[in-house]
Structure 1
Amino acid sequence: MKWIIKMERKYGRYAIRNLSAYIIALYAAGYLMELLSPNILGWLTLEPAYILRGQVWRLVSWILIPPDSLDIFTIIMLYFYYSVGNTLEKTWGAFRYNLYIFSGVLFTVIGAFILYGILRMQYPSSVIPSVGSAFSTYYISMSILLAFTATYPDAEVLLYFFIPIKMKWLGIVYGIFIVINFINSGWSGKVVIIASLLNFIVFFLSTRNLKRYSPKEQKRRHDFKKATAPTRVKNGQVTRHKCAVCGRTELDGDNLEFRFCSKCDGNYEYCQDHLFTHEHIRRS
């Protein structure tokens, strides 16, 4: 999008390089803090009620809370998230990867305050249940994997270092888990999931060419495939050329010549009789 390009030109030099390594380092610090003082994590959660009372460090300290208990499988998954995140940074550039991660953090904070506001309206004179434990970096980490899947769907990775699997299948499995969690959650849980994955939703929609799904575009693609479909003969031979106007192929005459038109939008091929006389096809 154009506004991202403008921002990158203006603020790209401030982007944090190798951001995934810093994310893993924050998790390591969180595990260490939990080991030294298990109760300290309660002071780090994203709790809007306490933030409004002056505990403003909670706006960012919740990032220190690690996604799960530390074991060998968690270490493997953190390494996996680091690898795919590092690849995304190299593909997108440091600024856009920073924007993706920090927008996920920002949307999560906004979601926490929205949930707190809804609960405050529902229980104006009661003690509002804690919402901080519901918000974590779990879905932000998940958004990194989903973004990698959308960028490299056919890339093959070794899950747990020995299970070969294509990213599109892994992304589908994770997507199913998210949908199941969304369906089985209450409305507060739905707010958490949407807020935490909103950066991926925005990324996915902004990188899709939604125009191609319009009825007009679908009809144009159907007409193009029909006009340029190869002719099959009895012996199973497939023709290499076909005129988009008259439908003739190289099998209709030894002297026929075919050329693609550089002024038509698409791979339209014409015989010598219609190369200069056809009406150019333009995408609206």
Structure 2
Amino acid sequence: MKQSNFERKFSRYAISNLSLYLVIGYAIGYAIYYLFPDLYEYITFDPYLILHGQIWRLVSWVVTMPEALGLFTIIMLFFYYSVGNNLEYTWGKYRYNVYIFSGMLFTIIGAFLLYAILIIMCNTTGEYETVLNAVGMSYSGTSVTDLAVIYRGIGMGIGNFVSTYYINMSIFLAFAATYPNAEVLLYFIIPIKVKWLGVLYGAFIFAEILQGSWVTRMMVITSLLNFMIFFLQTRNKLSPYQIKRKREYRKNIRQATQPKYENGAKHKCAICGRTELDDPNLTFRYCSKCSGNKEYCQDHLFTHTHC
């Protein structure tokens, strides 16, 4: 996969082992929820409070609980950690970082867009009860002069829709699209290909979109927009096996500049055994179609049998 100029410039800042930090963040979120429940209210997403100075909520919400804590949740978090690591190895840490952080960014944009739409509806229609009910909040007959209370309720309601659940969902969906024929043990017993689990996840999401309100549809779609973009961009790209081969090929090229033979030679033809010490005019190349760390001189690069 060819690097873009943007990637070459900013890949140095990419976070390695990002999935581990996500799981650690969830552990912190669970600890805060059960040990300091009052503090937990200060880390959830709330567009109203963010616009009134609590800007840390733009970041702190990513450690909130994706689901209620239980044995199944713990197992799933370890599973997401495993598939996330596989994606990072296959794509590289830069692309994996972009995928995860773009999912978070799209979620934030979707939440603020929803907040703006609901505020406009309040100001133009005066249907406060309808607006509050759309985000799961109750209406207590607040007067028009107390619109700030209405806006606060809208912000709290939207916060209930902003969850790290869809971040984990997008990780698995990307893994299923990248490794469709990989097998996992369902309930630790039944072997099943990942693509069928991906189809099942997709069916659940589709049902949620169909049966949910327009608010639910909007938040689900924006939260998974990173996967939709990824799927459209990569459906005709290289398979994971081809990507791995190219990564190994580039690694071999980097190692070629270091002496690796007892006589101090850096290159050696796998057919005739000649090195650059035998003939300084010889040119050596790795073959991308051969397995292993094999390079050939100019006389045998195009005439050898691939293995």
Q: Same fold (TM over 0.5)?
A: yes
Task: Decide which moves more: 138-147 or 34-43.
Answer: 34-43
Residue 190 of structure 1 and its aligned partner are, at CA, apart by: 0.8
> Does 2:71 match 1:44?
no
Select the residue among 196, 201, 204 that pairs with 1:174.
Answer: 201
Match of 2:224 in 1: 197
Residue 38 of structure 1 and its aligned partner are, at CA, apart by: 1.7
Residue 96 of structure 1 and its aligned partner are, at CA, apart by: 0.3
Quick one: distance in 2 between partners of 1:22 and 1:159? 26
Higher relative contact order (CA 8 A, sep 6+): 2
Q: Secondary structure at the match of 1:131?
A: helix
Match of 1:82 in 2: 81
Quick one: distance in 2 between partners of 1:45 and 1:36? 16
Quick one: distance in 1 between partners of 2:173 and 2:32? 29
Match of 2:161 in 1: 134
Identity %: 56
What pairs with 1:1-284 in structure 2 (closer than 5 Å)? 5-124=4-123, 126=147, 127-128=150-151, 129=154, 130-209=157-236
CA contact (8 A) 1:146 1:171 kept: yes
Counterpart of 1:163, as a letter, is I
Q: Secondary structure at the match of 1:123?
A: helix
1:100-149 CA-partner distances (Å, limit 9, x unpaired): 00000000000010000000000125413221111101111100000001
1:146-198 CA-partner distances (Å, limit 9, x unpaired): 00011010100123433311001000000000000001111111111011000
CA contact (8 A) 1:48 1:132 kept: yes
CA contact (8 A) 1:88 1:97 kept: yes
Quick one: distance in 1 between partners of 2:20 and 2:90? 16
Match of 1:259 in 2: none
Match of 1:213 in 2: none
CA contact (8 A) 1:16 1:94 kept: yes
Q: Secondary structure at the match of 2:192?
A: strand
Residue 6 of structure 1 and its aligned partner are, at CA, apart by: 2.0
Residue 39 of structure 1 and its aligned partner are, at CA, apart by: 2.8
Counterpart of 2:74, as a letter, is I
Residue 45 of structure 1 and its aligned partner are, at CA, apart by: 1.7
Match of 2:264 in 1: none
Aligned length: 209
Counterpart of 2:235, as a letter, is R
Quick one: distance in 2 between partners of 1:77 and 1:33? 20
Q: Structure 2-normalised TM-score?
A: 0.66
CA contact (8 A) 1:46 1:112 kept: no
Quick one: distance in 1 between partners of 2:219 and 2:210? 13
Could you tell me which runs of 5 or more consecutive residues in structure 2 were left unpaired when the two chains were aligned.
124-143, 238-307
CA 1:100–1:172 in structure 2 vs 1: closer, same or farther (change >3 Å)? same
